Amino acid sequence: MNRYKYILFDLDGTLTDSAPGILNCYRYALDAMGFDEPEDIMRVVGPPLYDSFAEICGMNESQVNEAVRIYRQRYAETGLFENNVYDGIPEMLRRLKNSGKRLFVATSKPEVFAVRILEKFNLAQYFDVIGGADINGTRNAKQEVIEYVLSRGNITDRNDVLMVGDRFHDIIGAKKCGIPCMSVLWGYGNKEEFIQHGADFIAETPQALTDALIY
């Protein structure tokens, strides 16, 4: 696996444990909108925000837009920092960078928030490009974000690219872009989900991921 030169990382559930802030903001928006909390609220962690309010919470388009507005109002002030870096992530990024890999972020989170989070936790230094969704709801799907990051990074040979993420959306997005995906077990997904959607590789720890990509 040493051949992969360009490593794209998801953010939520891959680099940071952002579930507390995401769930607090979802509950805040649902309460304001008069919607009940879904039975398994952890399902909202991972998919694009617009998709979660529509598909998991059962909102129509106008309700989704209002829920996103309310969610982001709290998230921008408080929620984005209700968040922690997973153990071993700084060491993983440092080792990969020092080995000559080029690192990127490809997240469905709005780019402006992703940059603030990574700067807050002193991780932005490792990435050539931090790419995310546009704040107005465009470039929302994972494959759109991946294509955007590949373009910004001037990456033309996709044989050298690997996506790293913790949910099936990362696998699907990577496949649509013609690149393999390594799924990680320290985030919000699980091995059954990864196998079902055809993950190319599975890593149990940041150290195992790094060892696989360097040696």
> Hey, which residues are catalytic here?
10
CB 79 within 8 A of CB 47: no
Residue 79 and residue 49 in contact, taking contact as beta carbons nearer than 8 Å: no
Give the count of alpha carbons within 13 A of 28, CB side only: 17
Calpha distance 111→134 (Å, rounded): 6
Burial of 154 (0-12, 13-18, 19+ CB in 10 A): exposed
Burial level of 85, CB count in 10 A (0-12/13-18/19+)?
Answer: middle
Q: At a CB cut-off of 8 Å and minimum separation 6, what does 184 contact?
A: 14, 164, 165, 166, 202, 203, 204, 206, 209
Listed residue (147, 181, 17, 28) closest to 86, CA to CA: 17
d(CA 196, CA 193): 5
Which residue from 47, 138, 150, 137 is spatially nearest to 106, judged by alpha carbons? 150
